[in-house]
Amino acid sequence: MYMSKIVKSGRIIYFFYLLALTVLFGSLYIYNEFERTSQEIKKLNLQSNIHYIDNITSNMAHHIKNATPKGIVKTLKDNAHLREELEKDLQLLITKKYRYVYVVDKNKNNRNFRFLLDGAKNAADKSDFLESYVPLNLQYWNEVYTRKKAVYYKDKSLKALWLTYLKPIIVDNKVEAIIAIDFSLQEQNLITSALKKLTQTFILIALFSLSVFIIIIFFSYIDRKRIRTLQFQTKEIQHFNETLQEKVNVEVAKNREKDNMLLHQSKLAQMGEMISMIAHQWRQPLSAISATSSAIKLKAQRNKLDKEQTIQLANKIANYAQHLSTTINDFREFFKPNKEKLETTYTNIIEDVLKIIQEPIQNKAIKFTQELHCEEKIFTYPNEIKQVILNLIKNAEDVLLEKQIQNPYIKLKTFKEAEYLILEVSDNAGGVPTEIVDKIFEPYFSTKTKKDGTGLGLYMSKTIIHEHCKGKLSVSNDENGAVFRIELQEIKRKV
């Protein structure tokens, strides 16, 4: 039963093959015959027009010859009244189809043409008797004198809408003058346009037939291929469904491992920066302790160390040691793991960050500006927010030093916008290039690759703000530089 349906389907397809081929070749044959007939029609139409205008100009040439027995130029020059009468006869030919009718001859002295009769109806457009005339297509006019036969050409300057017909007036086997008449090709163009539309119709029919033939072959191929591959695809889908859950679990585990690895790398990078900051902040107190102890030793060796000086120098050492202990406590609190959300404010978070980073950055001649206008509380992970702010400030420091900006500054600004509390970290380093502004939050993308940049800082910062704190981290440029913007929701108190 199934095989009989396949055989029947195959016969139908072959029938459509035959039908499509018949229509295709039939259309091509009809199109070829139509093209040949179209050329015949256009040729016959043009020949008919030429024959008609040849009769008109022949009669006019005969009339002018009879009216000027002493020669055309001499007779017209001596008889102005006859010239006016002949010009009126020329005017009778001017219609919508025949535009200009005039008679010219070739001056034997300078070989230029000159007007003998002008059939223009408007006096302003009429040329004077024997007025010089230089045709645009001079070779056709000279050809009339050479061949002593009528010549016609299309005027390309008028987009070939007019055809100029030149008829010689021959006296004693010499060309005495030329009758020129312009007649419209509008009728010819209408016929050509209509034939062109029909030609386009035949082309469309042929293309349609070809398309039908191609579509039939294509769908036939697709149908056979579908039958051959259906069973194989069914088995593949079944196997895929059986292993899908396993693949999902594997990919989820990989993604978690990747995120943990990225977070670990990011923390290691920040810890390295923190250690560098601790060393920087310890350097001065340690140098002071060393100098103070050297002073105690020197005074003791010279027996000049009295009780008051000993207490004073010991207090200095104690103060320096207290400063070192405070620095350790600040950094330990900064990295203290905190898995619970706490109520805090941007101001408190910024103060804790600046305790660690403000002095070393200001020592590099970078000015800190604070515009803190937001004291509303947020419910979040303070230490994670501190890590994000620290990363943004360090990035600003790096780019300011790299570009050697004059009067560099880093601005911290807080304010409220609708139901969101905003913290902005900006600088005057010129901003983020537009070609990378959409990439800077991607993992391993760094503009500091030559300086061992990991490309994880901004990625982890965005992960912390978006996923952990349910906020938003974005970047834009103002007239001075980059503006990183943190948006967190304010704590909503129940009334």
Comparing C-alpha atoms, which of 313, 322, 323 is closest to residue 290? 313
25-57 pLDDT, tens digit each: 776 777 677 677 767 776 776 777 778 788 888
Question: In the Cβ-directed half-sphere of 465, how many Cα atoms lie within 13 Å?
Answer: 25
Read off φ and ψ for residue 366, nearest 5 degrees: -100, 125
CA–CA separation, 440 vs 448, rounded Å?
11
- The predicted structure's pLDDT at residue 172: 83
CA–CA separation, 224 vs 203, rounded Å?
32
- The ranges assigned to domains in the chain are 2-184, 337-489
Percent of the chain residues past pLDDT 70, beyond the cut: 72
127-159 pLDDT, tens digit each: 888 888 888 888 888 888 888 888 888 766 555
Please tell me the least confidently modeled range out of 160-169, 232-241, 372-381, 405-414: 232-241
- The predicted structure's pLDDT at residue 408: 94
CA–CA separation, 393 vs 187, rounded Å?
81
- The predicted structure's pLDDT at residue 220: 67
- The predicted structure's pLDDT at residue 65: 83
Same fold, 2-184 and 337-489: no
357-385 pLDDT, tens digit each: 787 788 889 999 999 999 999 998 888 88
Predicted confidence band at 204 (pLDDT cuts at 50, 70, 90)?
A: confident
Cβ-based neighbours of 58, under 8 Å, separated by 6 or more: 167
Predicted confidence band at 314 (pLDDT cuts at 50, 70, 90)?
A: confident
CA–CA separation, 443 vs 255, rounded Å?
13
Comparing C-alpha atoms, which of 421, 425, 414 is closest to residue 475? 425
Q: Which of 76-80, 130-134, 169-173, 395-399 is predicted most confidently?
A: 395-399
Read off φ and ψ for residue 192, nearest 5 degrees: -60, -40
Please tell me the least confidently modeled range out of 233-247, 319-333, 341-355: 319-333
- The predicted structure's pLDDT at residue 370: 92
Q: What is the mean pLDDT of residues 207-233?
A: 70
- The predicted structure's pLDDT at residue 449: 45
Strand 151-154 relative to strand 162-171: parallel, antiparallel, unpaired?
Answer: antiparallel
- The predicted structure's pLDDT at residue 2: 41
The CATH code for residues 2-184 is 3.30.450.20
Q: Between 488 and 206, where is the model more confident?
A: 488
420-430 pLDDT, tens digit each: 999 999 999 99
Comparing C-alpha atoms, which of 451, 378, 437, 385 is closest to residue 412? 385
CATH domain 337-489 topology: Heat Shock Protein 90 (3.30.565)
- The predicted structure's pLDDT at residue 325: 73
Percent of the chain residues past pLDDT 90, beyond the cut: 14
Predicted confidence band at 495 (pLDDT cuts at 50, 70, 90)?
A: very low
